[in-house]
Amino acid sequence: MTKALSIQSITAHYGTTKVLEDLSLEVGEGELVSLLGASGCGKTTTLRLVAGFLQPTSGRIALGGIDLTRLPPYKRDIGLVFQNYALFPHLSVADNVGFGLKQRGVAGAEKSQRVQAMLERVGLAHLATRLPGELSGGQKQRVALARALVIEPPLLMFDEPLSNLDAKLRVDMRVEIRQLQRANGTTSVYVTHDQEEAFSISDRVAIMHAGRIMQLDTPETLYQRPANAFVARFVGFENLIPMRVVERDGAKITAEAAGGVRLTLGLEQFGAIPDSFTLACRADGLAATADAAREGIPANLGLRTYLGRAYQYQCDTAAGPLVANGPLTRPLEMGGHAKLVPVPEQCTILAPEVAA
Amino acid sequence: MTQKIHPALIGFTVVVFFFLVGPLIIVVGSALSDTTYLTFPPQGLSLRWFANIFEISAFRRTILTSLQIAFLSTFIALLLGIPAAYALNRYRIQLPGWLATLFVLPVLVPELVLGFSLLKNVAVQFNTPIFLTLVFGHSLLVLPYVVRVISASLASFDFSIEEAAISLGSPPLRTFFTILLPNVRSGVIAAFILAFITSINDVSISIFLTGPGISTLPIQLLAHMEQFFDPTVASVSVLLMALTVGVMAIVERTLGLTFLAK
């Protein structure tokens, strides 16, 4: 039933504005891929192109090897879950869920049986005769989910399905969605602007910006090894320090940042290091210490904030402003001097950016 | 717990109420008068002026004509107006802003001007049959109301519902009838009532377009008044009011009137 989705070099315009540029994406059978990005990045456009509500300027969309690009949306057989639920207000919960079956000529006992079975799976069997207006937000989204799943679509797509729910329900629902999706093994595309949601629910995440995919990877890789400065900033790397190699010595290199700051980095930690690179890390990738003998970035300590697991320092260095963490046992004085020592396992090396 | 209402406010409300309802009471009262001239309060009580309407063949004929024209022109206006209102709302972002205004503009044109120009440019120019010209003129007259009322009801319609239906395999035209129309039903009925009543009561356009052998009830009423000053005028007015109230009552029974306030 489930099929692989293949988006091949799609370019799309709204009028004369280019909103997607040469975008390609492969979603494997049974895989859940999220499109993550700020509003206007092109994630919803991508979903609407696959659904058939928009036409690409160029490129091809295929599902299970069959070209969809010129097929009208009502023939694409794709299950859609919308942000605002989009339930039919004049139809009962059961008729909402049965709508897709009716279009497929499924009627009578088989239809009511499948509707009933699906409502039981989402825990709403007792509300079958209610109208959507009488349901809570969470219940509405369950009906929407049941309505999309009951037609056993080869592809399921979610457009910010949890944005209208409160925080607690959001977490519960995303677990529920993931469980249903895995149980059915349905290939899925999930659009969201919520990083935590995307990372927790997906097999892979595509981080999008300005109509392009900046990086497509597993949540773990994105979080720990972002491929470029945009993704690094997106996943919370506060410190991006441009450096260049001044000396190579076997398994070690010495690199220099702005202001003559020098650091020694081991190749066994970072792999090959290009002559010019950016050292990137979060605040916990730089350890602030009062020990002036350690090799690190000399810094003047600014504001100190308490994080619970550590103290965080806003630092002023020759290489620019940086954020570093220090141990709870020895708080450092604001306004004092310190060394910021890179923690190799929390740092990553970014190749120099090709001017975009 | 009762809330004190200022006595002046109660007084004011009563005055406004009588201002609105007073004329109706006078008309109904005059219609029931036993005299051969219009008077209020009625002297003697009689239904003979109601019977008189149906004794005059011109009234019998024009009541029928007015009903036919009202039904036909309302039907045509709905046929044109619903798709127009749909397009104006569905593609509001893509369409220029003045387009929606354009559809309501005819309301601003004095009906006398509309009637006269229809006479000169359609009836005389093409020598069209009187009945058809009347239907055409009334369709034009009520179309802006239809577009306006249905647009108002579509403004709160969430078009992603339509997309949901399409994604589930329902072709666009079927979606229009099974999903969109049921959800703007109250708007369609409101538009029907408004258009029907506007057409039934119209004088300004009909006065130019009626001709030998074919007239509408309000025009016949005018013609009658020019010759007779008997309470038939009042009884016909009561009949028109009853028709309007009747339509409203049917709607109230089937749907509730609250939707008109939406």
Q: How far apart are CA A302 and CA B7, in angstroms?
A: 69
ipTM summary value: 0.85
Tell if the CB–CB gap between B167 and A99 is shorter than 8 Å. Answer: no
Task: For residue A277, give Cα distances in angstroms to A207, A298, A309, B154, B178.
Answer: 22, 20, 30, 56, 60
Of A49-58, A285-294, B74-83, B88-97, which range is least confident? B88-97
Query: Which residues in chain B have Cβ-Cβ distances shorter than 8 Å to A148?
Result: 168
Pair of tokens at residue A52: 């058939």
Q: How far apart are CA A188 and CA A197, in angstroms?
A: 15
| B209-229 average pLDDT score | 87
* Residue among A28, A23, A63, A15 at smallest CA distance from A41: A23
Q: B230 pLDDT band (50/70/90 cuts)?
A: confident
Q: B210 pLDDT band (50/70/90 cuts)?
A: confident
In a domain, B12, yes or no: no
Give backbone dihedrals phi and psi of A155, rounded to 5 degrees, phi first.
Answer: -145, 135
If you measure CA to CA, which chain B residue comes closest to A99?
A: B168
| A330-354 average pLDDT score | 88
| A331-335 average pLDDT score | 89
Percent share of chain A, pLDDT over 90 = 80
Pair of tokens at residue A157: 């797509």
Contact A138, A173 (CB under 8 A): yes
Contact B46, B230 (CB under 8 A): no
Alpha helices in A151-227 (DSSP H): 167-184, 195-201, 219-224
The confidence score (pLDDT) of residue B1 equals 55
pLDDT at B246 exceeding the cut of 60:
yes
Q: What is the mean pLDDT of chain B?
A: 87
In a domain, B30, yes or no: no
* Residue among A292, A293, A302, A296 at smallest CA distance from A333: A302
In a domain, B94, yes or no: yes
Cα dihedral B39, B222, B220, B212 sign: positive
Task: For residue B173, give Cα distances in angstroms to A72, B72, B165.
Answer: 13, 24, 11
In a domain, B8, yes or no: no
Q: B254 pLDDT band (50/70/90 cuts)?
A: low
If one compares B65 and B43, the residue with the highest pLDDT of the two is B65
Q: How far apart are CA A45 and CA A37, in angstroms?
A: 12
Q: B98 pLDDT band (50/70/90 cuts)?
A: confident
Tell if the CB–CB gap between A51 and B161 is shorter than 8 Å. Answer: no
If you measure CA to CA, which chain A residue comes closest to B172?
A: A74
The confidence score (pLDDT) of residue A1 equals 63
Of A120-124, B3-7, B116-120, which range is least confident? B3-7
The confidence score (pLDDT) of residue A260 equals 86
| A10-16 average pLDDT score | 90
Q: B255 pLDDT band (50/70/90 cuts)?
A: low
Tell if the CB–CB gap between B169 and A78 is shorter than 8 Å. Answer: no
| B28-39 average pLDDT score | 84
Contact A313, A301 (CB under 8 A): yes
Q: How far apart are CA A23 and CA A295, in angstroms?
A: 44
In a domain, B38, yes or no: no
Helix, coil or strand: residue B36: coil
| H-run or E-run covering A204 | strand A204-209
Report the number of distinct structural domains present in chain B: 1
As a residue count, chain B comes to 262
pLDDT at B262 exceeding the cut of 50:
no
Distance from CA of B155 to the nearest CA of A (A): 15
Q: A356 pLDDT band (50/70/90 cuts)?
A: very low
Q: B239 pLDDT band (50/70/90 cuts)?
A: confident
Q: How far apart are CA B15 and CA A354, in angstroms?
A: 80
pLDDT at B117 exceeding the cut of 70:
yes
- Which structural domain, as residue segments, surrounds residue B181? 47-261
Contact B100, B91 (CB under 8 A): no
| H-run or E-run covering A242 | strand A239-249
pLDDT at B51 exceeding the cut of 90:
no
Domains and CATH numbers, chain A: 5-232 (3.40.50.300), 237-350 (2.40.50.140)
pLDDT at B124 exceeding the cut of 90:
no
pLDDT at B178 exceeding the cut of 70:
yes
Query: Which residues in chain B have Cβ-Cβ distances shorter than 8 Å to A76?
Result: 167
User: Which letter does DSSP use for residue A283 in this model?
Assistant: G
Number of CB atoms found within 10 A of residue B148's CB? 17
Chain B contact for A151 (CB, 8 A cutoff): yes
- Check which CATH number belongs to the domain holding B64 and give it: 1.10.3720.10
- Angle, helices B130-155/B111-118, rounded to nearest 10 degrees: 140
If you measure CA to CA, which chain A residue comes closest to B179?
A: A88
Which residues pair with residue B28 across a beta bridge? none
If one compares B220 and A356, the residue with the highest pLDDT of the two is B220
The confidence score (pLDDT) of residue B257 equals 54
Contact A341, A286 (CB under 8 A): yes
In a domain, B101, yes or no: yes
The confidence score (pLDDT) of residue A354 equals 60
Tell if the CB–CB gap between B158 and A88 is shorter than 8 Å. Answer: no
User: Over the Cα atoms of chain A, what is R_g?
Assistant: 25
pLDDT at A120 exceeding the cut of 60:
yes
In a domain, B37, yes or no: no
Percent share of chain A, pLDDT over 70 = 99
Chain B contact for A73 (CB, 8 A cutoff): yes
Tell if the CB–CB gap between B169 and A86 is shorter than 8 Å. Answer: no
Tell if the CB–CB gap between A84 and B167 is shorter than 8 Å. Answer: no
In a domain, B96, yes or no: yes
Chain B contact for A75 (CB, 8 A cutoff): yes
Q: Which residues of chain A from 76 to 95 reach within 8 Å of chain B, CB to CB?
A: 76-80, 82, 84, 86-90
How confident is the model over A204-257, as pLDDT tens digits? 999 999 999 999 999 999 999 999 999 999 999 999 999 999 999 888 999 999
